[in-house]
């Protein structure tokens, strides 16, 4: 059983995904039961926070290395003051896309004055949305 809440999609989005993942070709190749199992696995994966945050860098005005350095400095500024000295953000180049940087998601992080949060807010926070 997953600790993450089940993803809540609009009916038209669920219907679209079902049509894509349960199409005739897939059903013919793997069968109804396996196709439905794969669809449910997709929904479970969509409810988990990502492992990486992707940042597309505009390399027209600065090199990728300059952008990487500035991004690291900005991330250090945003960390809590007590852990800022220890924090060294790991910013990786994408292995296949030359102008994309990857930031591994580390968590949970300390959040000031979080108070009581709804399930949706907590899920958004876990996915990296800043509230």
- Helical packing angle, 32-46 and 11-21, nearest 10°: 130
Could you tell me the mean pLDDT of each successive run of 10 residues in the chain, 131 residues long?
75 91 92 92 85 87 90 79 62 91 75 56 58 41
Domain boundaries in the chain?
Answer: 11-46, 52-126
Q: Tell me, what's the pLDDT at 74?
A: 84
Question: Torsion angle, CA of 33/40/50/23, rounded to 10 degrees?
Answer: 60
Q: Tell me, what's the pLDDT at 75?
A: 82
Q: Tell me, what's the pLDDT at 25?
A: 92
């Amino acid at each position: 059983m997953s600790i993450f809440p089940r993803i809540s999609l609009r009916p038209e989005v669920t219907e679209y995904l079902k049509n894509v993942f349960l199409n005739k070709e897939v059903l013919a190749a793997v069968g109804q039961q396996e196709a439905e199992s794969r669809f449910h696995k997709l929904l479970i994966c969509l409810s988990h926070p990502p492992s990486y945050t992707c940042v597309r860098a505009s390399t027209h005005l600065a090199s990728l290395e300059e952008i990487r350095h500035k991004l690291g400095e900005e991330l250090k500024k945003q960390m809590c003051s007590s852990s800022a000295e220890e924090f060294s953000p790991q910013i990786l180049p994408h292995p296949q896309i030359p102008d994309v940087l990857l930031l591994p998601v580390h968590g949970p992080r300390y959040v000031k004055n979080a108070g009581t949060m709804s399930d949706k807010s907590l899920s958004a926070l876990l996915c990296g949305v800043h509230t």
